[in-house]
Amino acid sequence: MEIKRLKAEYMDANVFVIIENDNALIIDSGAKLEDVKKVVGSRKVLATLITHGHFDHAYYADAYAKEFGCPIYIHNNGKATLSSPESNYAEDGFVINDFSNFKFLEDSGELNLPPFKVKYFSTKGHSKCSICYQIGEDLFAGDTLFSNGIGRTDLVGSSKVEMIKSLDKLSSLTFATTHSGHGEDSDFARQKRNIALFKRFLTR
């Protein structure tokens, strides 16, 4: 499995293209379509997985769906976030109101997208629709976990209480690498320290 990272047009958010032979998955959709097409090439895109509904992670979701003919997956709270510029923080009025290309996920489960098996976990805290995806030993954490921090909990739909619950949930997982919504990747040991540190910080 090969993982390629692109920088989004907005706020340097990360977009990941995961490649296995002739198939691909896309994590988040803030990078311009033309840039993603260059990485995808002739491969079949099976799905776009959105980590949360903030505009910098979801801006081009419909464009990806139309170009690649793939469904878009997001937590079921994502509809409310995507349809409100106040909740998704777009300054240009960006919203999504047509959800015909979307598939909505519950709090946890598994997607069977051969050759990929994707586990997903609701990780509310940064937003009501935050969700992490695990493929093998790789965790795609969106804005829940960063290399040296966690997502903000002072935004519309954010919650310190929910973030603590999500950090508890993530502390029970085993993974090798965390791919965050912004910044660099981090390893399991760093994230174990990171999670423990911010759980203490949030409960002060």
The Cα angle at residue 52 between residues 204 and 134, in degrees rounded to 5: 85
Residue 204 confidence (pLDDT) above 80: no
DSSP E strands: which ranges in 95-172?
102-105, 108-113, 116-122, 131-135, 138-142, 145-146, 149-150
Q: Is the dihedral of CA 159, 165, 168, 174 positive or negative?
A: negative
Q: Report pLDDT digits (tens) over 96-115.
A: 999 999 999 999 999 999 99
Query: DSSP letters along 7-45, please?
Result: E-SSTTBEEEEEEETTEEEEE---S-HHHHHHHHTTPEE
8 A C-beta contact, residue 56 and residue 41: no
Query: DSSP letters along 55-67, please?
Result: HHHHTTHHHHHHH
- Measured in whole angstroms, the distance separating CA 194 from the mean position of its chain's CA atoms is 19
8 A C-beta contact, residue 129 and residue 53: yes
Q: What value does the mean pLDDT of the chain take?
A: 96
For 138, the domain range is: 2-202
Residue 201 confidence (pLDDT) above 90: no
* CATH assignment at residue 20: 3.60.15.10
**Sorting pLDDT into bands at 50, 70 and 90, what band is 185?**
very high
Residue 195 confidence (pLDDT) above 90: yes
- What is the arithmetic mean of pLDDT over 136-159? 96
pTM of structure: 0.96
pLDDT of residue 10: 84
Q: Please count the structural domains in the chain.
A: 1
**Largest interatomic CA distance in the chain:** 51
